[in-house]
A and B are shown apart, each in its own frame.
Chain A
């Protein structure tokens, strides 16, 4: 919309002189990076499935890699949304699938098993990041309730526990 309407900040609005710390903490930054990585990897898997399957010595897995690409994009979109925790959990689940799939390619009769092992190593590294981000976001966004008592907050100073209506005259113009 901003671009369609060519909307700009009015010149008279106060300009930023110096910027303070962001409400986005390191866990949010890592999560965003993983979200964009997920989308990038997903696109690569969809459009480069043929080359990837051959590089991993899994020539019959082209369709599977494309399906994983769709999954990666879905997880990436969710990770970049406000439902980032669900997105990260779906990424960890996807990592488990990737690990299981790559493990089948590391066998003596696969001439590309070195590539598959390298890919498995990378997936394990990303899985570690996904788990770190999931834990940090869960911890940060958890609803911690100290159990404050609001039962005395009626808002009616004259009637601490108001129940009866005061007047039926609505205030209209």
Chain B
């Protein structure tokens, strides 16, 4: 089969690889019908996430048709079923899965020993990601093996198109979780840094969850236009001061809830000297991530507010103002997405026409064009916000 394979930094190739096989009774094989390039795939593309290996198959946003099932599936799936695959693999049986904390499943990471050493305790296995999370082959491919397939799937009805449901596997529940863990109240102003695909989903989620005012922060005009289309107030941080504008919009109190949809690769600009310092340290391996957005959120957030972090961070960050954060009584909530916790409700909302996540798709391409599309997406060329690939 063909698959997009990681060979090294900025080196993705459309290779011919062996077909996946059933390895465990709870496995299923799907024929991928649609997959997408995620913003966090760019962290792998840039080699910021440790423990990638040449030969890793990329992709953690995918859906398809079940073509083979293991003997332990027990009727949960059958050939021909159409499923979206959550990017967090969950066993459904461990203590964390039973609590709904699917992204920290205790059994799905097959490199648990290494994850225990790196993180203190293991987290869930993830598709198309680092070997710290199991090194499972991803879904930017013609076929994919789904471990724990009896629980790691979302069945979708034929009445909905691939593009309407594909993002149930990652960016839609990720944006939703980011907003839901803000405990939004009707009087709240929610500020969202980053208007990439997750930011766009967080904006719409915050609106659906009843925020009084949603403010979107970015520098890319087409992303800001898409945020505005949903009803968000926009701030272009290259044109105006984020802190001053947010204070203006909140009568000087600051946003009640702040969402970081940027993560470890915040924009580097000489007008924000800390970003230049972070970039220099990152190059010299003195710091893993660039946490400018975290600093700005801590500074501007209203006391007793909530800081929600769906953006990916990989390791160590410097100069986090914990003094202001502690004294202001801020609450931090973060993590990879507990996809299955949210998807029943989100699928219902899509079916009822409350939201159509396909609004975010700007580019469609064939799988073999994937290596080029990584660059188009990375360089934000051709007004690219979200790429969907068809194997």
Contacts and interface: CB of A to CB of B under 8 A. Distances in A.
Indicate, yes or no, whether A interacts with B. yes
Given A7-B51, A146-B383, A161 B229 contact: yes
Contacts of A19: 5, 7, 13, 15-16
Contacts of B328: none
**Category for how many chain A residues contact B:** 35 or more
B359 A153 contact: yes
A165 B210 contact: yes
Contacts, number: 197
B184 A20 contact: no
A83 interface: yes
A125 interface: no
B375 A23 contact: yes
B230 A154 contact: yes
A157 interface: yes
Contacts of A155: 200, 204, 229-230, 355-357, 359-360
Contacts of B186: 165, 168
B229 A167 contact: no
Interface residues of B, number: 84
B198 interface: no
Interface stretch (B18-26, B238-246, B301-309, B319-327): B18-26
Interface of chain A, main secondary structure: loop
A17 B15 CA distance: 7
Contacts of A22: 7, 11-13, 371
Interface in B268-304: 268, 279, 283-284
Contacts of B356: 155-157
Contacts of A170: 180, 183-184, 209
Given A154-B231, A155-B200, A161-B229, A143 B12 contact: no
B48 to A, nearest CB: 9
B261 to A, nearest CB: 15
Interface of B: 1-3, 5, 7, 10-21, 23, 45-46, 50-51, 53, 55-57, 100, 110-111, 114, 117-118, 131, 135, 137, 176, 180, 183-186, 200, 204, 207-212, 221-222, 225-226, 228-231, 268, 279, 283-284, 341-342, 345-346, 353-357, 359-360, 362, 368, 371-372, 374-375, 379-383, 385
27 contacts: A1-B118, A7-B53, A7-B114, A13-B56, A16-B5, A16-B55, A17-B16, A17-B17, A19-B13, A20-B14, A23-B372, A24-B11, A82-B46, A83-B279, A143-B380, A145-B381, A153-B226, A155-B229, A155-B355, A155-B356, A157-B356, A158-B353, A162-B231, A164-B231, A165-B186, A166-B210, A170-B180
Interface of A: 1-2, 5, 7-10, 12-24, 28, 77-78, 81-83, 140-158, 161-173
